[in-house]
Amino acid sequence: MERIKINARQLFVLIVLFEHGSAIVIPLGVSAKQDVWIAILLGLALGLLLFFVYRQLFEYYPDQPLTAYLPQIVGAPLGKLLAVVYITYFLYIAARVLRDFGELLLTFAYPETPLFVLNAIMALTIMYGVYKGFEVLARTGELFLTVLYFLALAGFILVFVSGLVDVTQLQPVLEEDWRRVWKTVLTETLYVPFGEMIVFTMLFPYINNPVKVGRVGVAGMVLSGVNLAIIMAINMAVLGPDAASRSSFPLLDTIRRVQVAHFLERLDVLFMIALIIGGFFKISVFFYAGVVGAANLFGISSYQRLVYPLGLLVLLLSVAIASNYAEHIHEGLKIVTFYLHIPLQVIIPVLLLIIAAIRRRFNQPAK
């Protein structure tokens, strides 16, 4: 493990950037149509419950990442196997987000560039960042969050000033009862981006003030969740449920519609910057978690030795996992959710917590 510490503010910044990550650009929860904001807020509420599970585990095993305390909870063979599964999961999700990133850029800005080239440039940057260490990432995050917020504010004002927001498009609220909303929550918004906080169980040990982990995590998630709900609600109000759910990138469509005073228009670049900043941090966090997890599990003293081989793996994986965008999205929504997100974000952590709690109860009197 790296002997570095980050402070609570840096953790907060990383959580916010991570949660926004790709979620602001993809059509997050649009299957709930005009109730998307409700779906996101409900996802946030359930996501907070999951976060308490992750935090409780950290409280039981402070100073250790998930992959280190897994064997302590369920025993060495099974624990190590699970640790390998989690490391693979983190790296796979890193590859998925990298693919998202490449596909997005390719679709709207670089139609003639090969996917591999775009992904490689991003992957190299991420590898370099991770090689330099977690603290560097955290401090870069502080810088970029300011940029992102400034852009978000500018975009927000422009969208409103151009008179695009038509709140009636958010009506009727709860047209098809709660069923459609809950379905979206339980199949989409809970896991991406809120359940993905599982990756921070690998990073909590770096906080110099562990007491604050809970508070900072909740604050970061709530801020991100509310932001995402607002952004998606604006997308709906600008585009209407029909266009928003047909769009590959609703936020891009919203920004493209901005026309203020005949010269503040074609602001696609705002979207692009948000995409690159968010993508960078989301992939970096997943990748870092995967790399330190692997180093820790296999007893490699310096995690940096794994950065380049694993980075290459992620890069190749990002190109190889799907042959087209439709397949990629299908895998993401159907397969990954049910076979990876639900077991690894919900079932296993909850089971771990139960086992850990029982163990502590039986161990305590003996002490």
Partner 1 sequence: MKRLLGMFLPFAACVCLLSGCWSKKELTDLAFVIAVGLDKTEDGKYLASFQVVNPGNVAGATQRGGGAAGVPVSIYTSTGDSLVEASRKASEKVSRLLYYAHTNLVVVGEELAREGLDGVFDAMERSQQFRTTARLVIARGHSAKDTLSVLTPIDKISANQIIRTLEFSEMAWGQTINVDVWWAIRGIASPGRNPVITGVSIEGGLKKGKRQENVQSSVPDARVTLNGLALFKNGRLIGWADGPTARGMMWVLDRIHQTNLTIPWEGKQEAIGYRATRAKTNVEARVNNGRPSISVHIKAEGDISEARVPINLADAGVVFRLEQELERNVKQEITKAIETAQREKTDIFGFGDAVHRAAPRLWKKIEKEWHDRYFPELDVTVTADLYIRRTGLRNKPYIEE
Applying CB under 8 A, the residues found at the interface with partner 1 are 107-113, 117, 121, 168, 171-172, 175-176, 240, 242-243, 256-257, 259, 265-266
Least gap, CB of 280 to partner 1 (angstroms): 16
Least gap, CB of 266 to partner 1 (angstroms): 8
Helices (H) and strands (E) in the chain, counts: 13, 2
Least gap, CB of 213 to partner 1 (angstroms): 38
Least gap, CB of 172 to partner 1 (angstroms): 4
* CB nearer partner 1, residue 63 or residue 175: 175
* CB nearer partner 1, residue 34 or residue 296: 34
**3-state SS record for 341-367:** HHHHHHHHHHHHHHHHHHHHHHHCCCC
Least gap, CB of 332 to partner 1 (angstroms): 21
* CB nearer partner 1, residue 301 or residue 324: 324
* CB nearer partner 1, residue 240 or residue 343: 240
User: Does residue 30 contact residue 245 with C-beta atoms inside 8 Å?
Assistant: yes
Rounded to the nearest angstrom, the gap between the alpha carbon of residue 350 and the centroid of all alpha carbons in its chain is 20
Cα angle 18-21-22, degrees, rounded to a multiple of 5: 145
Least gap, CB of 235 to partner 1 (angstroms): 14
User: Does residue 40 contact residue 232 with C-beta atoms inside 8 Å?
Assistant: yes
Distances (CA, A) of 61 to 53, 108, 131, 257, 365: 13, 45, 26, 50, 18
Residue 27's closest CA among 182, 244, 269?
244
Distances (CA, A) of 154 to 120, 145, 317: 31, 14, 36
* CB nearer partner 1, residue 242 or residue 327: 242
Task: Assign residue 248 a region (left: φ > 0; alpha: ψ between -120 and 50; beta: otherwise).
Answer: alpha
Least gap, CB of 147 to partner 1 (angstroms): 20
* CB nearer partner 1, residue 145 or residue 181: 181
Dist CA 126 CA 118 (whole Å): 13
* CB nearer partner 1, residue 33 or residue 341: 33
